[in-house]
Amino acid sequence: MRPAILFPLFAETCTLPGVGPRLEKLIAQVAGPRLKDLIFDLPTGVVDRSYRPKLITAEAGRIATVTVNVLDHLVPRVRQQPYRVRCSDDTAMIELIFFHAHEDYLKKTLPEGSQRLISGRVERFNNKLQMPHPDYIVAPGEEFPLHEPVYALTENLPGKVLVKAIRGALEKVPALPEWQDPAYLKARGWPSFGDALRKVHAPVHEADLAPTTPERQRLAFDELLANQLALMLIREAMRAAKGRALKGDGRLKAKALAALSFTLTEAQNQALAEIEADMASPTRMLRLLQGDVGSGKTIVAMLALLGAVEAGTQGALMAPTEILARQHMAALEPLAEAAGVRMALLTGRERGASREATLAALADGKIDILVGTHALFSEDVAFRDLGLVVVDEQHRFGVHQRMTLQGKGEKVTDVLVMTATPIPRTLALTAYGDMDVSRLHGRPPGRKPVETRVMPATRLDDVVEHLRKAIAHGARAYWVCPLVEESEKIDLAAAEERAEELKRTLGSAVGLVHGRMKPAERDGAMEKFKSGEIQVLVATTVIEVGVDVPEATIMVVEHAERFGLAQLHQLRGRVGRGTGKSSCLLVYQAPIGETAKARLQTLRDTDDGFVIAEEDLRLRGPGELLGTRQSGQLEFRMADIAVHGELLAAARDDAGLILSRDPDLKSPRGDALRTLLYLFGRDEAVRYLRAG
């Protein structure tokens, strides 16, 4: 249950004076539906009204506060013209300019002959001083704030309204019990939660907006601590669930290894040893296997699955898409055969009698390893005894969270998540802090470096010419045209046009795959590319090219500037898998800035996925990197992972210490920490605490 002390902050914004249904909607767009969302809506700027010049020295372009005498009103003769009010001090004149003015109102606020204090942006036009639409006009003695926070707005939501709403929300912040260690706060020089909030919303200088101020750090640390505590609580609960020790005898693994045409790399052996140790322990395995596309994760997963079978249980391998499930099946079936293990495929496409037969065999234990998509977790799928689940997340995130929660209370299975995105260490902590991590470092086995070139779209003709020659020698190429959400239709049309154009220049060996195609159509095109019937495959997204075609040696990416570095790195990983020399051409649409170009150069200079990921994080921030929209648990409002990495590590240590002393958060500080979890929306974790 949410602590009563937080009730005021969980009230809806329409409870604030002056906020009705219309404003409530607009406020929800920029901040959220509740008062707590308003207090966490950080200012993005500050208006400084402390510049108080005499008119003669007033600098154009600056916000100024000036004391003036109102001389006269110049009422426009036609509606299109602005209303002007002439004013002066003892040094110069200034004209106040109003469009769509209400004469009565202006006559009342700016009576001729009166003195007024006004504030707004000063401009110079035809060598005359002007101030269009002053922000404040008051009589001498009246006041307005000399420093105002600026917040991100949306259409029809006036800044002043949002400022007032946030101020109203701040007044409702109760005195909360301190959840941080007082000694730590003192050492860091951090204020209390309430003081930090009030300070953050009252910037005076630009510097006050920096994420490194004591108050911003304090709030970031609060959020990170909530995040780490929640992950640890979930992790503990997962592990406390009566796990089982799965210990294979190695006989199936030996057969599979003998059937491989290669030996495992050191990194693979290391990762496998870590996984096997987890499986053999009586606590539940929750492990993340990280490694670039093609780094050899799948074979490691297969050997782990064989271990589960050796131990007398079944295994499941879940892929994010139909096509990848089929690819895993095709790649692993020979190994299963060599080991004498029964393997089957189950996706949304298996229906009717064959599906029934698979389900029956599965329940009987006649299938040892099941490969498939989300369909594996349909309600009617029952294993005889599922020991290990491998989730191949590829480029997607957030699946494991659901998986682990799903498994709660049901039969306890070990879980191994594979991800092809080299996640920076800091991010791995926040996204996968509830998991142990194994990494497959180094260039994927058997990979040759891919020559990478960055060029403007004006040189597209050269690219096509290069392609034409390579095709003549039997090469195969990917040509990626990205879609952006806002203009998907236009982009898709562009991709179709590109495919047509390439067809004309190169002959008929061009195919197109895009996200709007039916899966069967898409698979058909992919098959043709695999078989060589299609030599150039124009594709619109990353996922469609998630297929292993060793013969492909050229990757062209149009609008490379629209992709993140990690995505480009993954795209590049699609080539350089076979014996041929491969190249990657990153074509950008000018104009792009220097930093954007530098980003692309990073890719040219390194092929270490982890280095690229760190760079990507630094340049773009975590939200974009991970596609926060799909994975709510990564959304931080106070913390900026790119800046607060050090705080994250500290929060992790702190969370560990807290839970080692007070695992059920029952002490007074534990109680305060529960409040913290609710405040930052991490209360899911509270469910895992024993009552009390």
The binding site for Mg ion (CB under 5 A) comprises 298
Sheet with 451-456, side-by-side order of all strands: 451-456, 583-588, 552-558, 476-480, 536-539, 510-513
295 sits near ligand ADP (criterion: CB under 6 A): yes
Q: Which does 299 bind (CB under 5 to 8 A by kind): Mg ion, ligand ADP, none?
A: ligand ADP
**Measured from the CB atom, is 302 or 467 closer to ligand ADP?**
302
DSSP 486: G
Report the C-alpha gap between 566 and 45 in whole angstroms. 31
Report the C-alpha gap between 676 and 224 in whole angstroms. 11
Nearest residue to 326 via CA among 268, 392, 277: 392
**Measured from the CB atom, is 298 or 540 closer to Mg ion?**
298
294 sits near ligand ADP (criterion: CB under 6 A): yes
- Residue 113 class from Cβ within 10 Å (0-12 exposed, 13-18 middle, 19+ buried)? exposed
299 sits near ligand ADP (criterion: CB under 6 A): yes
**Measured from the CB atom, is 239 or 443 closer to ligand ADP?**
443
546 sits near ligand ADP (criterion: CB under 6 A): no
Among 180, 228, 268, 583, binds ligand ADP (CB under 6 A): 268
> How far lies 207's CA from each of 18, 44, 192, 214, 283, in Å?
32, 11, 20, 12, 49
Size of the site for ligand ADP (CB under 6 A): 15
Report the C-alpha gap between 666 and 690 in whole angstroms. 9
Among 220, 229, 272, 293, binds ligand ADP (CB under 6 A): 293
**Measured from the CB atom, is 201 or 297 closer to ligand ADP?**
297
- For the bound state, the minimum distance from the C-beta of residue 577 to ligand ADP, rounded and expressed in Å, comes to 7
Q: Please report which residue ranges of 409-513 form alpha helices under DSSP H.
A: 425-432, 460-472, 488-506
**Measured from the CB atom, is 298 or 321 closer to Mg ion?**
298
- For residue 386, list its beta bridge partners: 314
670 sits near ligand ADP (criterion: CB under 6 A): no
Buried b (16+ CB within 10 A) or exposed e, 504-526: eebeebbbbbbeeeeeeebbebb
**Measured from the CB atom, is 391 or 642 closer to ligand ADP?**
391
**Measured from the CB atom, is 421 or 675 closer to ligand ADP?**
421
Among 159, 211, 348, 445, binds ligand ADP (CB under 6 A): 445
φ/ψ of residue 617, rounded to 5: -60, -45
x/- contact string, 624-663, with ligand ADP (CB under 6 A)? ----------------------------------------
Only segment of 84-92, 143-151, 223-231, 260-268 that touches ligand ADP (CB under 6 A): 260-268
x/- contact string, 364-403, with ligand ADP (CB under 6 A)? ----------------------------------------
97 near 82, Cβ under 8 Å? yes
320 sits near ligand ADP (criterion: CB under 6 A): no
Residue where the block lists tokens 């500050």: 46
Q: Which single residue brings its beta carbon nearest to Mg ion?
A: 298
Residue where the block lists tokens 């030599």: 535
- For the bound state, the minimum distance from the C-beta of residue 523 to ligand ADP, rounded and expressed in Å, comes to 18
Q: Which does 296 bind (CB under 5 to 8 A by kind): ligand ADP, Mg ion, none?
A: ligand ADP
547 near 326, Cβ under 8 Å? no
Regarding beta strands 123-125 and 93-98, do their DSSP bridges make them parallel or antiparallel, or are they unpaired? unpaired
Buried b (16+ CB within 10 A) or exposed e, 264-289: bbebbebbbebbbebbebebbbbbbb
x/- contact string, 405-424, with ligand ADP (CB under 6 A)? ---------------x----
290 sits near ligand ADP (criterion: CB under 6 A): no
Residue where the block lists tokens 């110049």: 74
576 sits near ligand ADP (criterion: CB under 6 A): no
Residue numbers at the binding site for ligand ADP (CB under 6 A) = 262, 264-265, 268, 291, 293-299, 420, 445-446
